[in-house]
Amino acid sequence: MKIKESWGSRLFDACNAVLMVMLAAAMLYPMVFVLSASISDNAKVVSGQVLLWPKSLSLAAYERLVFNPDLWISYWNTIRYTTVHTALTLMATAAMAYPLAKNGCRDEGTCC
């Protein structure tokens, strides 16, 4: 037996879908814009002509970035901090979580 959905339920589904599309657009747009602005010609960005898609592709910004030695030093530092931090945190918290999880149980071997 097929249960008929009320029109209120279908209206809710439609509104929800629209809302979700708007949400996805709102989340994606700033990132897409920043990406487009980074590959566009600087003058076009400043004059506000780049809205969504890049105009007059130019990789000048990336050139300046890549040839700047400070960037690579910072990047290497970031990688070092992140790797060591993640590894140590994971080990310490996992080690600490296991006995704490067994806290409520009576015997060693079994656990609820």
Interface positions with another protein (CB under 8 A): 6, 8-9, 12-13, 16-17, 19-21, 23-24, 26-28, 30-31, 33-34, 37, 45-48, 51, 91-93, 95-96, 98-100, 102, 108
Closest separation in Å from C-beta 85 to another protein = 13
Of 71 and 91, the one with the shorter C-beta distance to another protein is 91
Of 12 and 76, the one with the shorter C-beta distance to another protein is 12
Closest separation in Å from C-beta 88 to another protein = 9
- Tokens at residue 89, please? 């945190």
Closest separation in Å from C-beta 68 to another protein = 17
Closest separation in Å from C-beta 73 to another protein = 17
DSSP 55-102: -SB--HHHHHHHT-HHHHHHHHHHHHHHHHHHHHHHHHHHHHHHHHHT
CA-closest candidate to residue 60, choices 44, 76, 42, 43: 42
| Angle at CA of residue 44, ends 51 and 22, nearest 5° | 10
d(C-alpha 69, C-alpha 76), whole Å: 11
Of 37 and 41, the one with the shorter C-beta distance to another protein is 37
